[in-house]
């Protein structure tokens, strides 16, 4: 792929640009100064590349997380004027303020598949639930997907309307676009309908059976209550 073609593909692939600047790692004090300036300490890395410390605008990270594809959004990362495609690989936030404190970006190429986690969504109401009182059990909430950056799906859906009791959705039944592959065994169950649990609890009888030895205890109690004979 020529440089012009790659630049055109980059422009059509993403509408989010993250402007970053390289930084010198200087421990916690340097990170605090970066955050005080309204930026997030981050690292960008990729295959065969050592991590480069950078600083990005906090709002840019939030715009990625709130986009339709979330962390799977391919962004144009510009570091000191140099453009490259990247994914937000991970991030950390403060437990109280919920502000982003650190981020990792992973560089990608248009012709190089990447492994990402894609949301798995079930649609419809299974007949085994509606008609037989079963329970729909979703085993996977996200799926490991291998695809080139331009083919990463926002989500993978499966219709469960036809599922009866004991039936499920497997990897081999997913409808995937060309070039998209789920990195699980084809026989892997992703969701299924299980039968309702039986209630084995027996209702208590109104009158409980007398305890063992209770009949013998009654005469003894009667004798104890009778007045003693005079001699």
Last residue of a domain, one of 68, 86, 109: 109
- Tell me how far apart the alpha carbons of residues 162 and 119 are, in angstroms, rounded to a whole number: 21
State the CATH number of the domain containing residue 14. 2.40.240.10
Phi/psi-derived region of residue 48, left when phi > 0, alpha when psi is between -120 and 50, beta in every other case:
left
Number of H helices, E strands in the chain: 5, 13
Residue 23 structural domain: 3-109
Res 24: pLDDT: 83
Which DSSP category does 166 fall into?
Answer: T
Q: Does a structural domain hold residue 223?
A: no
Q: What is the per-residue pLDDT for 223?
A: 47
Question: To which residue do tokens 């079963």 refer?
Answer: 134
pLDDT at residue 201 in the model:
60
CATH number, position 155: 2.170.120.20
Q: Say yes or no: 101 and 55 in one domain.
A: yes
How many domains does one find in the chain? 2
Q: Is residue 56 part of a domain?
A: yes
Residues 110, 112, 118, 122: what is their CA dihedral angle, to the nearest 10 degrees?
90
d(CA 55, CA 35): 9
Task: Identify the sign of the CA torsion 16, 21, 27, 31.
Answer: negative
Helix (H, G, I), strand (E, B) or coil at 172: helix
pLDDT, position 231: 47
- Is there a single domain that holds both residue 90 and residue 73? yes
User: Which pLDDT score is estimated for 50?
Assistant: 81
Task: For the chain, 231 residues long, give each residue's pLDDT as a single digit of tens.
Answer: 545 555 544 545 667 899 999 988 767 788 888 888 889 999 999 987 789 999 999 899 999 999 989 999 999 999 999 999 999 999 998 888 888 999 999 999 999 999 999 999 999 999 999 999 999 999 999 999 999 999 999 999 999 999 999 999 999 999 999 999 999 999 999 999 999 887 666 555 555 555 555 555 445 444 444 555 554
């Amino acid at each position: 792929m020529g440089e012009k073609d790659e630049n055109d593909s980059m422009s059509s692939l993403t509408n989010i640009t993250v402007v970053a600047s390289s930084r010198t790692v200087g421990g916690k004090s340097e990170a605090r100064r970066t955050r005080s300036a309204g930026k997030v300490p981050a690292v960008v890395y990729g295959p065969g590349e050592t991590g480069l410390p950078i600083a990005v605008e906090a709002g840019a990270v939030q715009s990625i997380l709130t986009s339709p594809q979330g962390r799977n959004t391919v962004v144009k990362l510009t570091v000191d004027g140099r453009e490259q495609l990247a994914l937000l690989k991970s991030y950390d936030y403060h437990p109280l303020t919920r502000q982003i404190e650190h981020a990792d970006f992973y560089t990608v190429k248009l012709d190089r598949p990447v492994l990402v986690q894609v949301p798995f969504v079930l649609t419809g109401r299974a007949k085994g639930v509606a008609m037989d009182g079963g329970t729909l059990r979703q085993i996977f909430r996200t799926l490991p997907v291998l695809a080139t950056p331009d083919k990463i799906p926002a989500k993978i859906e499966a219709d469960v309307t036809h599922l009866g009791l004991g039936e499920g959705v497997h990897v081999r039944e997913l409808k995937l676009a060309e070039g998209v592959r789920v990195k699980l065994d084809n026989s892997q169950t992703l969701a299924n309908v299980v039968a309702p649990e039986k209630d084995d609890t027996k209702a208590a009888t109104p009158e409980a059976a007398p305890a063992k030895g209770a009949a013998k205890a009654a005469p003894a109690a009667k004798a104890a209550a009778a007045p003693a004979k005079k001699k």
